[in-house]
Structure 1
Amino acid sequence: MPLSLRVPVAVSVLILAGCGGGSSAPSSTPTQPTPIAAPQLTLTCPTPLSLRTTTGQPVPLAYGQPQVSGGTAPVTVACTPPAGAPAPVGQTAVNCTATDARAQTATCSFAVAVAIAPTLSVERLLSLGDSFTAGTTSRAVEREIPGNNYVQKLEFLLLERYPDQRITVTNAGVPGQFVDQIEDRYPGALRQSNAQVMMLEGGANDLNADGARAITDVVTRLERMTRDAQGRGVAVILTTLTPQRPGSTKGTSPQAVRDLNVRIRDLCRRYNTGCADLYAAFGNEQSPLIGSDGLHPTLAGYDLIAETYFEVIRRMFERTAAPAS
């Protein structure tokens, strides 16, 4: 009876695998992927900043977050001193560092300059007068300072230099009025504007109507309004008349203008007021800043009027705080 041999399948597999005439193939090692380098971390700081203080005291630092690029998220950014920290008058260096998930770092820095801004000791101004104050122009030319009259132009200049204050300039000019009419309006205009400073201009219509005979009455009324305003604690800036061009349609009293201006300058000295000497600023009776009617300024002339008042106001009222110790 033949002998049967039962070999377990698992064993026979091992036997078959181990048999054969050829040599076995060498095993292969799997290829590992090349690691991708993390993008380089960079940090870009804001441009240098300028801040203002009107008191000389430190101001809170205010700046935007530096811009991060590259690196591996998450990326943290820290700046010293931080936003909101007090910065004294002068230069402050802000240093920033970015750190990503792989501990890469990047740095940047920028400067913050804190300057003491000038201020005015007054904020409410009244311009009281006739057509020059109202803004009647003669032959418009290209304008430089925004505004249709010197009052608007002056307010623009003041707010540009003193942006930390709420400065208002009230226009109380009425074209065609004589000084007696301006005097009648004066108490109400002063009350409604609650002004701390009054810029007083008038007399051209009086001179064109009555010539040199009007000078004494104009001066008397200007003096009366000046004295009353000062008694109410209101500072006064008196104004000389601009030149009139001889032989023009409305420039009928050039000599009387010169004579009246002598008296107005005398009022400035006697009452220690500000003096906006527009006649001197315009130069002479042939000034190109006087329009074709020979009386009213061009828009460029109103620019000069605004600048003249602006310089007087700066000299009288500008204050600059001392740095905090």
Structure 2
Amino acid sequence: MHKPDVTWDSVNILLFQLQPSRNLENQSDEVTFILLGFSEYPELQVPLFLLFLAIYTVTVLGNLGMVMIIRINPKLHTPMYYFLSHLSFLDFCYSTVVTPKLLENLVVGDRTISFTGCIMQFSLACISVVTETFMLAVMAYDRFVAVCNPLLYTAVMSQKLCSLLVGASYSWGIACSLTLTCFLLQLSFRRNNIIHNFVCEYGAVISVSCSDPYISQKILFVSATFNEISSLVIILTSYIFIFITVMRMPSTGGRHKAFSTCASHLTAITIFHGTILFLYCVPNSKRSWLMIRVASVFYTVVIPMLNPLIYSLRNKEVKEIVKTLINTKLMSFNVK
């Protein structure tokens, strides 16, 4: 007689679903979440662990390396690289908030995360994502000034203005995160909750709440829509003026140089915003959970790795400085 396949994951899920619903005053002490991730593919756990570990290693080395190169080299002490160093720092933070827990869940049977841990993961990830959204918009404005007003670039993009733009991006990211986190804290949850993802994403968390999610969903929609539209308006407006200015240039060489300075940034913007729009346009149904997880992997794990590669591979100054540093290290090693 055929026996049904029973796994520890299915048993745990069944037990957790049978737990009674509670409205707890000390909710943070008792509520836990299960991040299912890719648990339904047990044969892929080890390959996925090795893949994500390699990606995370490249992400950490690439982004921290970019920050160090920009900080120690005087040639790169310009507004463009100042913004780029903060973009790399945000990618490092975002990846570090999400990926270690993903790696743990791939090798450890216990996929639970505490209420406090889940809220903290969402809050820190939200700060990084929202700040990066507007950092890319700030970088678009920087390219607009550089291409359309090159003679006034140094005067316009002063150190004070650059610091103000970066500070405003971080402040808005923190404000959005605190707002959404406060609404999450107002919800009640069962003692154990199953999240069909590998990260405590806002929509996934409120979907398992015992409370009415209407207000929380509206807050998320308004916040996400405002951030996307406002940042894209800045980016598109900047690049429309850049395109017009470039097309008026008499020489082909001047056009090529102008476009090359914007190519890396345009690539990063396309990947980042394209993935966000795709992720939040996917219907929130059971049939789309796998697609949501794949998009989430690209959004949370792959993009932070791609940004330093895009800027280093397409940027002559960065490549020359990296080659110089490598040659210097090799020469010092040979001397020893």
Fold-level match, TM-score > 0.5? no
Q: TM-score, normalised by structure 2?
A: 0.23
Mark the structure with the bigger radius of gyration: 1
Which structure shows the bigger proportion of residues in strand conformation?
A: 1
Which structure shows the bigger proportion of residues in helix conformation?
A: 2
Which one scores higher on RCO, CA 8 angstroms, separation ≥ 6? 2
Q: TM-score, normalised by structure 1?
A: 0.24
